[in-house]
Amino acid sequence: VSEAQLNNGIEAQCRARGLRLTGQRRLIAQLITEATDHPDILELHRRARVSDPRIALSTVYRTLNKLEGAGIVVSHNFRGGPSRYELASKSCHDHLIDVQTGAVLDFQDRRVDRAIEKIARALGFEVVDHRLEVHVIPSRAL
């Protein structure tokens, strides 16, 4: 799937949710789509200003809140810092965080998902969602 298609995807999703497609939203959608890191709002604002120097920080906040509410992006709060965002379609995974460098690595593993399902069910609940953050150090550092 190309980036252009993904971007079309996010715009289509906005339309489907009744969100208007303004220049700012298209720009933010593109930035989120092409991001491989997990940028926070300030970083997204910085990147957005390259193309649109007049875009306001509050617009970035409002847009990401809308996109999150619509289930198009998801946010993470690693170690209590500012919220960091990524496309929901990229996010059926969890995060490995190198505590020495702060680098974030994505991973996906069914064992974790299955274990979580079983635990919740045993306690009388159904899983809506989960967040797993694994803090690690490189093996050779030991």
Partner DNA sequence: GTAGGTGCAAATCTTTTGCCGAGCG
Partner DNA sequence: CGCTCGGCAAAAGATTTGCACCTAC
- Match 């092409």 to its residue by tokens: 34
Number of Cβ atoms within 10 Å of the Cβ of 80 = 5
Give the residue, chosen from 7, 83, 89, 91, that forms a contact with a second copy under the rule CB under 8 A: 83
Q: Which residues of the shown chain bind DNA in the complex (CB under 7 A)?
A: 15, 19-25, 40-42, 52, 54-59, 61-63, 65-66, 80-83
Least spacing, CB of residue 52 vs a second copy, in Å: 27
The residue type of 114 is R
**Residue 104 binds which one of a second copy, DNA, none, with CB within 5 to 8 A depending on kind?**
none
C-alpha dihedral sign at 29, 35, 37, 43: negative
Contact predicate 85/79, CB 8 Å? no
Element (H, E) at 120: helix 110-122
Q: Is 63 in the site for a second copy (CB under 8 A)?
A: no
Q: Which residues bind a second copy (CB under 8 A)?
A: 75, 77, 79-80, 83, 96, 98-99, 105, 107, 109, 111-112, 115-116, 118-121, 123-142
